[in-house]
Amino acid sequence: MKTNVTKRICAAAAALMMLSCTACANSDSSSESEKEKETTTTTTAKTNEEKASSDSNESSGDGSELIKSLTDKIKELSNRLDDLEENGNFDFDEDIHEVYDDTAVVEAYKKKDPSGLTDSKDKYIYDCLVKAVDEIIEDGMTDYEKELAVYNYMFDATRYSYENLNPIDLDDEEDWSHTPYGFFTTGQTICVGNATTFKLFMDVLGIDCEIIHSTEEGEHAWNIVKIDGDWYHVDLTFDNGDKHPLYSNFNVTDALKMEMSYPWNIEDFHECTSTKYNYMVMHAVDCDDIYALPKMLKDTLDKGENVLYVTLKNEDSTELYSTISELSDIYYAIESDRYSITAGEPLFNDDYTEATLAIEITDITEIDDDDYPDYPEETIDIDKLADAFNDAFDGEITISDGRYYWDW
């Protein structure tokens, strides 16, 4: 849409230039005419006439050569704009992050020879990649086991970079959160950095993997990966796990990803319908009684774990969907000084009579304070401020005991 607008702007600008040039030419001609009338020297007049004649011949009398030149420039620019948008190097609808091309690093890895890498960042990525693969991949692993090892490694090493969530300034050489370089240097990545880094690992491990870069409604990027003949969605950014992965977006289907509100053209990518290697399905236990969930969660903690994978069933799909929605509301309503409970996205079967989901329960008293930044010391006497509001508004405004802090 904006490409055509840009072309029209360029054309309009060029037209103005042409009009300006024509006006200048007319002005010059008028000026020369006045000079000829005013001059008393025949030689000077003759010289001016010859010069005017020469200029007129060079411009074909009506500026057509100039117009042709500018028209060619516009056509060249228009073609360039089409090429940029068609090849994904530039988007006129919004600024988006460039997707890292891992071809050079992958080739170097397969040859076990980085000497052909000319970019210093690629060389750094290569060195870190070799070390990481040696650390987490063992002989005899299946593709699924390799994929899981990479996912866990990235989860442990990555912290989402909220500071770099907005599109980057292309002149900012220090922001690499959308690339594997950002992952390996700081662990601060955004969705594009997670997707490109995951694909890099899959590429060197010989596992088919692609990137879905959604830009229609905001920007988001994730992967699809082929395991044992079937394709799955993998979205590390949307793993809501606390200290450990929740796997609620690990090897999931098209149907689940459609619930995430980031559109993509399904026809352009492989169909993802299998749940064979979905982590939740592989580790879920049946929950026949919704009122048994509290005891199941307590047993999970007693085993030294903090995530319970459960499958709920109901022949009435509408009732099951309602149950899942109500559970989410209940989790938010739970109040506890010790425990925090969250749930991941539910994975439904084809007829919506079964739903598998991850429920995470965290003992917040066991969380290391070093994992979170310190809150600033209190500077306001809350009781004194409450009294001031009470006096000013005759008791119509009160302040609760709780405090709300900025999310650092």
96-113 tens-digit pLDDT: 888 899 999 999 999 999
Taking the C-alpha atoms of residue 109 and residue 389, their distance in angstroms, rounded to an integer, is 66
Q: How far is CA 262 from the centre of its chain?
A: 10
Contact 181, 312 (CB under 8 A): no
- The percentage of the chain sitting over the pLDDT mark of 90, rounded to a whole number, equals 43
Contact 220, 214 (CB under 8 A): yes
Q: List the structure tokens of 151.
A: 């996912």
Q: Is the pLDDT higher at 379 or at 252? A: 252
Architecture in CATH of 98-283? Roll (3.10)
Query: Which range is least confidently modeled, 55-59, 229-233, 255-259?
Result: 55-59
DSSP codes joined into one string, 299-347: HHHHTT--EEEEEEE-S-HHHHHHHHHHHHHHHHH---SSEEEEE---E
Longest dimension (CA), the chain: 113
pTM above 0.85, yes or no: no
Contact 210, 198 (CB under 8 A): no
- Identify the DSSP state of 242: S
Taking the C-alpha atoms of residue 401 and residue 343, their distance in angstroms, rounded to an integer, is 28
Write out the H or E segment, with its range, that includes residue 42: helix 42-58
Per-residue pLDDT band at 71 (split at 50, 70, 90): low
Residue 386 has pLDDT above 70, yes or no: yes
- Per DSSP bridges, beta strands 354-363 and 339-343 are antiparallel
